[in-house]
């Protein structure tokens, strides 16, 4: 998942906002204030109901448009709603999956995955219509017809086993990043090591950018057999530590106060220690 535009803001250079001011700014005549406020509410996890309602309303904004017909405010509102954890946002986000703006659809798919509400599954699955044949580059634009990476990752994270036969063909897609997203989802949906090993192989053969992305995938799915390969990967230690942290967390019971630590957890921590 790649955060675009919104995260470029540095908190230090930003106008001083409070939740109340930010919510009010979502209806400001100044469009840049609206855009910034939507990002700010997500960044600072302002989860009060007024913020949710105002952001949901912003998903239908018509005022803020790019030259190409994009909806910047909708994008930021959709991203923020994923971080705020309120299922009230789900119907509005589902509607965004049909928005004409690719980046709104992408943000909505990512946020729906974070919210984890399964009522979104049919709408997410619908974006895979036409399968791999339809998953082609849009002429002149830097993206495919749909936000496939976000959709595949959402289906995997939400345990959409009914979508396995639709996800599987994307392992053969010509875009390497998409193959990895498919492998990541397939592992989550089937727990079969062949998909984890696919990612391990990319870790050894891909370029640096790809290796960083795959480390994120392996951490997200907690594929334990990748631990040593992660520790040895030709990538900055910070990325490796985050991936191993993901593996470690899968080895720890949900209720943390009383957990004992398993041999596997110790193995992962020893690798983490060696990367400090």
Partner 1 sequence: MDELIRAITTAETPSQLVTAVKNLAATKNPSAIPNLIAVFGYNNPEAAIVAVAALTELGEIAVPQLLDQIDDYNYGARAYSIRTLAAIADPRALDVLISTTIADFAPSVRRAAARGLGKIHWHKLDPTEAETGTNRALETLMFICQDTDWSIRYAAIVGLQALAQEDLVRLPILAQFQLMLTNDTEKAVRARVQLALAQ
Q: Which of the stretches 10-18, 34-42, 143-151, 249-257 binds partner 1 when contact is defined by CB under 8 A?
A: 249-257
128 or 244: whose CB is closer to partner 1? Answer: 244
Q: Please, what is the minimum distance in Å from the beta carbon of residue 245 to partner 1?
A: 5
Q: What are phi and psi of 137, to 5 degrees?
A: -65, 140
36 neighbors 4 (Cβ within 8 angstroms): no
90 or 215: whose CB is closer to partner 1? Answer: 215
138 neighbors 144 (Cβ within 8 angstroms): yes
66 or 274: whose CB is closer to partner 1? Answer: 274
96 neighbors 104 (Cβ within 8 angstroms): yes
- The two three-digit tokens of residue 189, written as one number: 């949906």
Buried b / exposed e along 57-89 (16+ C-beta atoms within 10 A): ebbebeebeeeeebbbbbbbbbbbbbbbebeeb
Report if residue 249 touches partner 1, rule: CB under 8 A.
yes
Report if residue 259 touches partner 1, rule: CB under 8 A.
yes
Q: How many residues bind partner 1 (CB under 8 A)?
A: 19
The closest of 150, 157, 187 to 75, measured between CA atoms, is: 150
- Among 63, 87, 208, 261, contact with partner 1 (rule: CB under 8 A): 261
Distances (CA, A) of 114 to 12, 79, 91, 153: 27, 10, 14, 10
- Among 10, 49, 256, 263, contact with partner 1 (rule: CB under 8 A): 256
Q: Which of the stretches 101-109, 160-168, 195-203, 246-254 binds partner 1 when contact is defined by CB under 8 A?
A: 246-254
Report if residue 208 touches partner 1, rule: CB under 8 A.
no
Report if residue 194 touches partner 1, rule: CB under 8 A.
no
Binding site for partner 1 (CB under 8 A): 236-238, 241-242, 245, 248-249, 252, 256-257, 259, 261, 265-266, 269, 272-273, 276
């Amino acid at each position: 998942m790649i955060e675009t535009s919104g995260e470029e803001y540095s908190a230090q250079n930003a106008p001083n906002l409070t939740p109340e001011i930010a919510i009010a700014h979502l209806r400001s005549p100044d469009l840049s204030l609206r855009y910034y406020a939507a990002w700010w509410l997500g960044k600072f996890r302002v989860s009060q109901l007024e913020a949710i309602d105002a952001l949901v309303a912003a998903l239908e904004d018509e005022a803020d448009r790019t030259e190409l017909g994009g909806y910047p405010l909708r994008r930021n509102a959709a991203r923020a709603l994923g971080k705020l954890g309120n299922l009230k946002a789900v119907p509005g986000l589902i509607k965004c999956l049909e928005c004409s703006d690719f980046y709104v659809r992408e943000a909505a798919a990512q946020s729906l995955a974070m919210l984890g509400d399964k009522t979104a599954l049919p709408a997410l699955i619908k974006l895979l219509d036409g399968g791999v044949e339809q998953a082609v580059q849009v002429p002149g634009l830097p993206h495919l017809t749909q936000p496939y990476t976000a959709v595949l990752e959402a289906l995997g994270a939400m345990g959409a086993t009914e979508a396995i036969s639709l996800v599987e063909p994307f392992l053969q897609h010509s875009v390497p990043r998409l193959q990895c997203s498919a492998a990541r989802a397939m592992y989550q949906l089937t727990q079969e090591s062949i998909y984890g090993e696919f990612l391990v192989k990319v870790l050894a053969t891909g370029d640096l950018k790809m290796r960083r992305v795959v480390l994120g995938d392996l951490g997200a799915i907690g594929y334990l057999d990748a631990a040593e390969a992660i520790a040895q990967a030709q990538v900055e230690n910070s990325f490796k530590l985050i991936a191993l942290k993901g593996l470690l967390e899968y080895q720890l019971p949900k209720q943390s106060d009383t957990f004992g630590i398993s041999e596997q957890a110790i193995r992962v921590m020893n690798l983490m220690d060696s990367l400090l």
